[in-house]
Structure 1
Amino acid sequence: MEWIDKAGYACAVGWSGSYCVTAYVGNVLHRRPIAPGSLVEAHARLIHTGRTSMHVLVTVSSADVSTREFRAATTCILIFVAKGSDGRPAAVRPWVPRSRSDKKLASVAVDHIDARATIKDLMLDDVFAGKAGARGRTLRFLVPPGVVNWGGNAHGGTVMRWIDEAAYVCAASWAGEDEAASDAVAVYSGGIHFFAPVRIGELVEINAQIVYTSTHSMHISIRVHTADPRRPDEMTLTTQCLSVFVVPDGDGGTRPVPQWTPSGDEELSLWEHARDIVQLRERIVPISASLARED
């Protein structure tokens, strides 16, 4: 997740010539795992610009060091906003698609805008209970100075890594007591909206909750809140995300996972929103890795 953000950031800064912040990351499709010791390549390309925003498509590929044959592992779209010296959004020069792939990818970026807005509204409408019992986990810590970016805040990619770690803890604990549960892996992350910066030295609280289960998958809603350590009860929502985890069975398939049945109006609302998001996501056609890398 950090590699994705770094590649996208480099692309956005290169185009805008100014400091940029991550505003959104969507449709992170983890097609296959990346083995330790692999060569990794993160390829970013601009596919759409707004007045102050840039839509960047990132493809992460990996290869065995002996063959150097790269295969795509992950693709996603990120949106960055350019910032001026006053910290306010700054206009960026428009990007004009020229090649066949440019035009097709630009069309995809525009088509995703309405679906993304709907998913964002659904996620914000969730009645996100702070205490979710066995189906939820919470991580708390102070933002360390080592993750500071050019703007003086935590890198968006670092926040994404924290989200992934919290979701993993939630998925592994829900999946069961046996050793296989520790093998839970993310196959999808989406709807990652960044609402406010995460400042160095702040208290971070990451809540991850199971909001939907299918026979073989766990859908986890994650929210990141921050606060001044002197006022820990005054939390601000900075980031939200929905991730999907499965437990591999070792034979190319996935294990069944314990099912969650909502009880009460609040839990039922969470379940219904998650189901609606799943249906919306299925309407979004994934971007093929070959198109992403086509000139």
Structure 2
Amino acid sequence: MDLPRTSESTLRFLAKSSDAGYRQRIDGGRVLEWVDKAGYACASAWSGRYCVTAYVGNIRFSRPVEAGQLVEIDARIVYTGRTSMHILVTVSSGDPRTGSVSETAQCLTVFVAVDDAGKPAAVPPWIPATLLDQRRQLAARRRIAVRHNIEAEMAEQSYSDASHAPSKVLRFLAAPSDVNWGGKVHGGNVMRWIDEAAFVCASGWSGAETIASYVGGIRFYRPLLIGNMVEIGARLIHTTHKSMHLSVHVRSIDPRTGAAELAAHALAIFVALDDRGRSMRVPQWEPRTDEDRRLDGHARSLLEIRQQAETA
């Protein structure tokens, strides 16, 4: 007998000490991994199919998750296309002794259902049932245009060695523990790696403890396969008084041929923290080459696009 279709799922668990990064608090990469898992659970339950992460929109971290806290991640369908499901994911955390939780982060994710041949497959349409559902659907539809503008802005940019910008590269092999039952690397793992590469670059530039305040425009182009070399490059492209903007590229490299393909691209914004855990001023980066100046302008353009979307 077919199980009833559901448009909402909730994960609930305790944040463990092993979830923490370099501090007692849970880093943004781990939260992004949880977001992907909750979104996948919702997408697969609605579509009845294997689903892949296509895009993760703007996620702002309003406050950190601490080890030992109760974590609740609510994922719900807010819009469906022909093969895509737009899912609003809300992360909340709090004291397990009281059971009271408050919002930590929220973002919109897009998953695509695929058939047994790995091709996009049609999904059942989602129909809003309440006024709140209608508002959420309208907001998701508006985000489509914003997402296209961000993707177009990011696609126009090129990155080469003609730069003096601070950068860091991580390289490692995709391990069996990194893949899902579909044989592909979890989107959540990729997002955690993006956060880690950006953390290394931001920390090296600021000389201080850093934490992600925003991650956005995470676009997945192709899956990463077990045994492939993963290369994640993070480059500083813009600074404000208290923030560092980093562009992160994830590439999949065939170790037999050395052929590299772009697997994902994202923008991350990090802040530096003082000894009391408060945001502090960061060293200002000045673009020196034409490419550096172009990418600095690119970061400013993305800021404008997001600000216009938030005030629309």
Q: Taking structure 2 as the reference length, what is the TM-score of the superposition? A: 0.87
Cα distance per residue 1:175-221 (max 9 Å; x no partner): 12xxxx1x201010000000000001101110000111000000010
Aligned counterparts of 2:299 and 2:42: Cα–Cα separation in 1: 32
The number of residue pairs the alignment matches comes to: 280
Matched, 1:208 2:245: no
Give 2:307's match in structure 1, choosing from 270, 278, 282. 282
Deviating above 6 A after TM superposition, structure 1's stretches of 4 or more consecutive aligned residues are none
Quote the offset at 1:124 in angstroms: 1.8
Aligned counterparts of 2:309 and 2:59: Cα–Cα separation in 1: 12
What residue number does 1:44 align with? Answer: 75
Tell me, what secondary structure is at the counterpart of 1:112? helix
Aligned counterparts of 1:121 and 1:173: Cα–Cα separation in 2: 30
Decide whether the 8 Å contact of 2:165 with 2:237 is kept in 1: no
Quote the offset at 1:80 in angstroms: 0.3
Aligned counterparts of 2:201 and 2:162: Cα–Cα separation in 1: 13
Aligned counterparts of 2:176 and 2:164: Cα–Cα separation in 1: 32
Tell me, what secondary structure is at the counterpart of 1:42? strand
Quote the offset at 1:251 in angstroms: 5.5
Aligned counterparts of 1:50 and 1:186: Cα–Cα separation in 2: 31
Cα distance per residue 1:250-276 (max 9 Å; x no partner): 557410001111112111111111110
What residue number does 2:26 align with? Answer: none
Aligned counterparts of 2:71 and 2:93: Cα–Cα separation in 1: 4
Quote the offset at 1:65 in angstroms: 2.1
Matched, 1:99 2:130: yes
Summarize the Cα distance change of 1:45–1:250 in structure 2 as closer, same or farther, 3 Å threshold: farther
Quote the offset at 1:133 in angstroms: 5.3
Give 1:135's match in structure 2, choosing from 160, 166, 171. 166
Aligned counterparts of 1:175 and 1:127: Cα–Cα separation in 2: 25
What residue number does 1:223 align with? Answer: 249
Higher relative contact order (CA 8 A, sep 6+): 1
Decide whether the 8 Å contact of 2:164 with 2:292 is kept in 1: no
What residue number does 1:149 align with? Answer: 180
Aligned counterparts of 1:162 and 1:252: Cα–Cα separation in 2: 23
Q: Taking structure 1 as the reference length, what is the TM-score of the superposition? A: 0.92
Unaligned runs of 5+ in 2: 1-31
Tell me, what secondary structure is at the counterpart of 2:66? coil
